[in-house]
Amino acid sequence: MVDVMSTPTAIRVRGLRKAYAGVAAVDGLDLDVEHGEVFALLGPNGAGKTTTVEILEGFRRRDGGEVSVLGADPARPGAGWRERIGIVLQSSGGHDELTVHELVHHFAGYYPDARDPDEVIAAVGLDEKSTTRARHLSGGQRRRLDVALGILGNPALLFLDEPTTGFDPEARREFWALITSLAADGTTIILTTHYLDEAEHLAGRVGVITSGRIVALDSPDRLGGRDQDQAVVRWTEDGHTQTERTAEPTALVSALAHRLGGEVPGLTVSRPTLEDVYLRLIGEPAQTMEVVS
């Protein structure tokens, strides 16, 4: 088995290509993901995101390019490679009549070095649901069960595909805490999500893919030059809303406070959100954009 930490990166992709009926879905894509990194891959429908991830997971053959995942080619991974990979698909089902305890203990038998099943159940917050049949779990609880099955083999690399679709806000926050704890333990995580706040909260870096290529890659706060964009200052003066863009918002607010004699009515200072930058990168207006896998 490959010593995954001896490889320079967890994932290395150069010139990845995949076409369907002569139409390029992935067109010369390059990507590196470091060990222990939480990396979010964002892109609109048809951008090549799902195809790329499926190639990395070893579920789809590529037409060209070089791919290394945990030191192996996922098209020819060799013995033991899949044991080091955890995958949580966007939707799952089956085994509805088995309890949480039965399911996790059953699947633990497939791995030579599985984590303790009861510890995994507790780690995903399902210890109080251990004797509950899968069909009686809520959507958020079922997602936690999916993650439990995904991390049972103690994977070095975990793929999460739209992990919190259908979650209520509280369940999403709890799930984020779980993913953060996995990352703190050194698990490399590849995340696809249509929630940009989720990507911003969880990922150390974000890649935006469109037309089969990575068009931007950086930390969420720096993506697409976001940190260099001018701030928008709004305030109310003489009964009218005033707006000014500036690279020095503190100086402008100080000048306004001096001129207006203290508090600035209706004051807001904002910079472009991750969504604003994402929309600009993929060339879509906000009212028609759809960020899904």
Q: Locate tokens 């940190």: which residue? A: 227
Question: Which tokens is 28 given?
Answer: 């010369």
Pairing of strands 157-161, 188-192: parallel
**Which residue, among 147, 221, 213, has the nearest Cα to 180 in the 3D structure?**
147
Is residue 292 over pLDDT 60?
no
Question: Which tokens is 76 given?
Answer: 């020819």
Q: Is 12 helix (H, G, I), strand (E, B) or coil?
A: strand
91 φ/ψ sector (left φ>0, alpha ψ -120 to 50, else beta): beta
Residue 173: in which H helix or E strand, if any? helix 169-184
- Residue 284: what pLDDT? 66
Alpha carbons within 13 angstroms on the beta-carbon side of residue 63 total 14
For the segment 152-201, what is each residue's pLDDT rounded down to a tens digit?
Answer: 988 999 999 888 877 778 878 888 888 898 899 899 999 998 899 999 99
For the segment 197-252, what is each residue's pLDDT rounded down to a tens digit?
Answer: 999 999 999 999 999 999 999 999 999 888 888 889 999 999 999 999 998 999 99
Nearest-5° Cα angle at 117, 114 to 122: 130
DSSP 107-153: HHTT-TTPPPHHHHHHHTT-GGGTTSBGGGS-HHHHHHHHHHHHHTT
DSSP 228: G
| Cβ-count burial 253-278 (b if 16+ within 10 Å, e if not) | beebeeeeeeebeeeeeeebebebbb
Pairing of strands 11-20, 64-69: antiparallel
**Which residue, among 70, 94, 96, has the nearest Cα to 84 in the 3D structure?**
70
- Residue 228: what pLDDT? 85
Higher-confidence position of 140 and 182: 182
Nearest-5° Cα angle at 40, 31 to 215: 50
pTM: 0.81
List strands edge to edge, sheet with 268-270. 240-246, 231-237, 268-270
Domain ranges of the chain: 4-96+149-223, 230-270
List strands edge to edge, sheet with 205-210. 85-88, 157-161, 188-192, 38-42, 205-210, 213-218
| Choice among 108-117, 121-130, 168-177, 181-190 with the minimum mean pLDDT | 168-177
- Residue 142: what pLDDT? 87
**250-276: average pLDDT:** 92
Mean per-residue pLDDT over the chain, rounded? 88
Superfamily of segment(s) 4-96+149-223: P-loop containing nucleotide triphosphate hydrolases (3.40.50.300)
Strand ranges inside the chain, DSSP E: 11-20, 23-33, 38-42, 64-69, 85-88, 157-161, 188-192, 205-210, 213-218, 231-237, 240-246, 268-270
